[in-house]
Amino acid sequence: MLQKSVFLILIFSFISGLSFSQKDPKAKVILDAVSEKYQSIPGLKAVFEYSYSVAGEASPQIQTGEIAIKGDKYHLILPDQGQEIFNNGKTVWTFINSGTYKEVTINSASEMEDELKPSSVYTIYKKGYNYSLKGEKTQNGVLVQIIELTAEKSGEPFKKVTLMVDKNKKDLVGWEILDDQGGKLMYQFRSVDTKTSLPDSYFVFNAAKYGKVEVIDLR
């Protein structure tokens, strides 16, 4: 009887420890602080570097982009790809300019909820992910805390998301996404303006500004 009780205590302790590691309270304090700070600002505009790599392939080419975020709205510019994405919270416009051909694809934002939007990086940990604080490192002279998020269920499009947070300012400075194909997408902010105030029209595609554009409406 005593042996059985000891066995049950050990099992209970193991399960409790496992649950603790799945939702690391130290990581949650940091994530909550980053999320609350983001939600308190009027808007965000940043220049970033990004790359996509697959294990075993050649080193990825680092490209630059610009992002503006206001609540659940965002405007993403990827000049190297000739692509802009506008999202006003209800509609998503993906505009492609190849130089000789212009095209915009229109989707309802609700149909793209499974995608990791720039604005949802700040709140992704709140649903569907376990998280843990992996340590600290100095990056470009900034003390950064590393938090790893792992999908609770198999089959999710993003298996793991690693967030890099400025320890002192509680700002997100970069993140890495591991997809279900083994590819790694890396982002790192080069400059960030958290005091910008952008009109709602900045997050809506206006075809009149771009001349003749082929429209593909998938709503």
Mean pLDDT (whole number) for 47-59: 83
Cβ distance 174 to 65 under 8 Å? no
Confidence of residue 114 (pLDDT cuts 50, 70, 90): low
pLDDT, tens digit, 9 for 90 and up, residues 183-192 = 888 889 898 8
Please work out, in degrees rounded to the nearest 5, the angle formed at the alpha carbon of residue 203 by the alpha carbons of 219 and 122: 95
- As a whole number of Å, the CA-based R_g of the chain is 21
80 closest CA partner among 47, 109, 43, 44: 47
Q: Which CATH superfamily hosts domain 25-217? A: Lipoprotein localisation LolA/LolB/LppX (2.50.20.10)
Beta strand 91-97 pairing with 83-87: antiparallel
pLDDT, tens digit, 9 for 90 and up, residues 127-181 = 888 999 999 999 888 999 999 998 888 766 678 889 999 999 999 999 888 877 7
Q: Where are the domains of the chain?
A: 25-217
pLDDT at 2: 45
pLDDT at 17: 41
d(CA 127, CA 202): 29
Residue 157 makes CB contacts below 8 A (sequence gap 6+) with 114, 115, 116, 179, 180
d(CA 147, CA 138): 14
Coil/strand/helix, residue 14: helix
Residue 167 makes CB contacts below 8 A (sequence gap 6+) with 136, 143, 144, 145
Q: 151-179: b or e for each residue (b if 16 or more CB lie within 10 Å)?
A: beeeeeebbebbbbbbeeebbbbbbbbbb
d(CA 114, CA 117): 9
d(CA 190, CA 34): 18
If one compares 179 and 92, the residue with the highest pLDDT of the two is 92
The DSSP-derived string for 194-216 is: SS----GGGGS--GGGTSS-EEE
Torsion of CA 161, 46, 203, 112, to 10 degrees: -10
pLDDT at 177: 86
